[in-house]
Amino acid sequence: MRNLLLILVMAVASAATAAVNVKPAPPEQNEAARVALEKAFNSQAALEKSSIATDVVSVGPRLWAATKDVRMKFPDSTKDGYSMLPSRWIVTKWKLTPVDLVTVKDETERAVLEQMLRESKEGTVVQQGRIVDHSTKILAALVKSRVDPGEFPFKIRKPTADELTYYYAIIPFEIEEPIWVIDSGSHAFLCHFFKGQVFYFEAL
């Protein structure tokens, strides 16, 4: 059961469009994170050589669902997890795919998810995941599978209010800076930092 709790994430944030509060970080921390992203996403080669990721990186449901073929090549380094979204509005707006509980093979895991759904009005479970080993290498592989080489270098910008609302809906914690979005014009990814490295990464 303890291992099960490690892969379950229950997000109970409101799906309302009200502004999401973000706890500020010192300017030097924000700038250091921005510079790290600028260097890492200057090119595919730079991304592969970077060390921007923490030991364990959470991957949001949009990117996790879109990169199944890639992450299946790293079965010992990636693990499925789940977010509990209290509003179907977020699921629909961001084109997320609800989990079909019939496909959840572990009986205990399925029972926990079913209980979560029973206790939540309009609750929806979506799959996300974690990279638990070789984080930067696998993160680079996920990104490369979604973007063309010509999209590098990415621009670094602050997340919009709509992007923060989405992110807040899929996490069980408050948002603290540094948080940035890397944007090629065709693809964008949210990058949330902890102690100078990315710990949550999601496609927008």
Q: Any idea which residue has 């449901």 for tokens?
A: 61
- Tens of pLDDT, residue by residue over 14-65, are 334 458 999 999 999 999 999 999 999 999 999 999 999 999 999 999 999 9
pLDDT at 67: 97
3-state helix, strand, coil in the chain (%, to 5): 40, 25, 35
State the pLDDT at residue 186. Answer: 97
Beta strands in 65-178 (DSSP E): 78-85, 124-131, 155-157, 175-176
Per-residue confidence at 5, pLDDT binned at 50, 70, 90?
Answer: very low
Lowest-confidence region among 51-55, 93-97, 101-105, 200-204: 101-105
Is the predicted pLDDT of residue 72 greater than 70, yes or no? yes
How far from each other are the two terminal CA atoms of the chain, in whole angstroms? 32
Is the pLDDT at 1 greater than 70? The verdict is: no
Calculate mean pLDDT across residues 159-186. Answer: 96
pLDDT band, residue 88 (cuts 50/70/90): confident
Distance CA 88, CA 32 (A): 36
The dihedral built from the CA positions of residue 148, 150, 151 and 154, taken in this order, carries a sign that is: positive
126, with CB counted inside 10 A (0-12, 13-18, 19+), is buried
> What is the C-alpha to C-alpha distance for residues 62 and 95, in angstroms, rounded to an integer?
8
pLDDT at position 32:
98
| Residues whose CB is less than 8 angstroms from the CB of residue 56 and which lie 6 or more positions away in sequence, other chains included | 130, 131, 132, 135, 199
What global pTM score does this model have? Answer: 0.89
Could you report the per-residue pLDDT of 105-158, keeping only the tens digit for each? 889 988 988 888 888 777 899 999 999 999 999 999 999 999 999 999 999 999
pLDDT for the residue numbered 84: 87
At residue 128, the 3 state secondary structure works out as strand
**Pairing between β-strand 155-157 and β-strand 179-183 as defined by DSSP bridges:** antiparallel
User: What is the C-alpha to C-alpha distance for residues 57 and 94, in angstroms, rounded to an integer?
Assistant: 21
% of residues, the chain, pLDDT over 70: 91
For the cut 50, the answer to whether the pLDDT of residue 77 exceeds it is: yes
Structure confidence at residue 102 as a pLDDT band (50, 70, 90): confident
Cα dihedral: 28, 29, 33, 34 (round 10): -40
Residue 120 corresponds to which tokens in the numbers above? Answer: 């939540």
Per-residue pLDDT, 12:
38
Confidence of residue 173 (pLDDT cuts 50, 70, 90): very high
